[in-house]
Amino acid sequence: MKPAAFEYQRVTTVAEAVKLLRDAPDAKVIAGGQSLVPLMNFRLTRPSLLVDVNGIKALQHVVWDGTYLRIGSLVRHQQIADHAEIQKHFPVLAVAARHIGHWAIRNRGTIGGSLAHADPASEWPAATVALQAEIDVEGPQGIRTVPASEFFQGYYSTVLQPDELVVAVRIPYPKFRLGFAEIARRLGDFALAGAFVEDDGGQGFVTWFGIADKPVRVHTVLPDNMEARREAWQQALGTLAIADDSKSRRHLAVQMAERAWQHSRLEGGKYLSEEAAGGDPL
């Protein structure tokens, strides 16, 4: 199908974008278009105006200052996968980026678009929750900062107001060892289940995605013994409302948590090359 008729405006500043969004409440921001355009083609959404933010240079930065990583909302998934400092200091993010769709999607889709879209099976919402990131949002009243743990409300739902823009994500250097794993039906598909695990030696957190209406971060013990760890994953899962509550989804969630934990034991560079050896031919 083709989208319903719409107006189109390209902007070069956040202020221009916010003004257009404020003046036309059913307007929508378009960034990479990888989620919005399919929805428009199916007429599941019919914005009267598209505000194209791709010309806003101020949203295209990646800055690592030794304490925080700041990623502008227009940074593409593939840029995160390829970024040398992200690979070095946040390998888990570079690995997670490679699991997003196919190359063509990663080459256009943006981190800001992914956060605003809030698909519960997406990597970036879970990554920001797992790494306790903060999300900067700009609207008519200026900039406000929202912890990722409070940003996602449920299926495709966030605290963003219609006249607000995601401008950047700020991610603190992780205190713990981190690992990531996900499983999808085919390479490039959305995850059936995925997990980020932080291990602080004997205890830590698991953040699951694809299994509930939004990413969920749960504290857990992390014993050295694998059987005891499996018990711990089960217990952590037991407290959650799982999407379809099927046995197989629970099984996959436990498997992914365990695999992510195993990955958290790998040194960063080795983790990246092992993942690369797994290969993404797309």
CB of 47 to ligand FAD, least distance (A): 8
Binders in 133-162 for ligand FAD, by CB under 6 A: 160
Determine, following the binding rule CB under 6 A, whether residue 35 of this chain makes contact with ligand FAD: yes
- For the CB of residue 276, give the shortest distance to ligand FAD in the complex, in Å: 18
* Identified binder of ligand FAD from the candidate list 29, 131, 133, 254, rule CB under 6 A: 29
State the Cα–Cα distance between residues 145 and 135, nearest whole angstrom. Answer: 6
CB of 167 to ligand FAD, least distance (A): 7
CB of 113 to ligand FAD, least distance (A): 2
Contact flag: residue 215 with ligand FAD (CB under 6 A): no
Q: Which is nearer to ligand FAD, 139 or 268 (CB)?
A: 139
Residue selected from 33, 139, 223, 268 as contacting ligand FAD according to rule CB under 6 A: 33
What is the rounded CA–CA span in Å between residue 199 and residue 261?
Answer: 7
Interactions with ligand FAD, residue window 109-128 (CB under 6 A): 109-110, 112-114, 116-117, 122-123
Is 83 a binding residue for ligand FAD by CB under 6 A? The answer is no
Interatomic CA distance for residues 123 and 188, integer angstroms: 12
Choose, by CB under 6 A, the member of 93, 165, 171, 272 that binds ligand FAD: 165
The residue (of 39 and 240) whose beta carbon lies closer to ligand FAD is: 39
Number of other residues whose CB lies within 10 A of the CB of residue 75: 21
Is residue 79 part of the contact set for ligand FAD (CB under 6 A)?
Answer: no
Among 100, 237, 260, 272, interactor with ligand FAD by CB under 6 A: 100
**What DSSP string describes the chain?**
--PPP-EEEE-SSHHHHHHHHHH-TT-EEESS-TTHHHHHHTTS---SEEEE-TT-GGG--EEE-SSEEEEETT-BHHHHHH-HHHHHH-HHHHHHHHTSS-HHHHHH-BHHHHHHHT-TT-HHHHHHHHTT-EEEEEETTEEEEEEHHHHEEETTEES--TT-EEEEEEEEPPSSEEEEEEEESSTTSPEEEEEEEEE-SEEEEEEEESSSSS-EEEEEEE-SSHHHHHHHHHHHHHTS--SS--HHHHHHHHHHHHHHHHHHTS-HHHHHHHHHHH----
Q: How far is the CB of 75 from ligand FAD (least distance, A)?
A: 10
* Residues within window 49-68 making contact with ligand FAD, judged by CB under 6 A: 53
Q: Is 168 in the site for ligand FAD (CB under 6 A)?
A: no
When asked if residue 21 is in the footprint of ligand FAD (CB under 6 A), the reply is no
Q: Is 28 in the site for ligand FAD (CB under 6 A)?
A: yes
The CA distances from residue 209 to 19, 75, 93, 180, 182, in Å, are: 34, 22, 15, 11, 9
Q: Judged by CB, which is closer to ligand FAD: 20, or 30?
A: 30
- Per CB under 6 A, residues contacting ligand FAD are 28-36, 38, 53, 73, 100-101, 105, 109-110, 112-114, 116-117, 122-123, 160, 165-166, 190
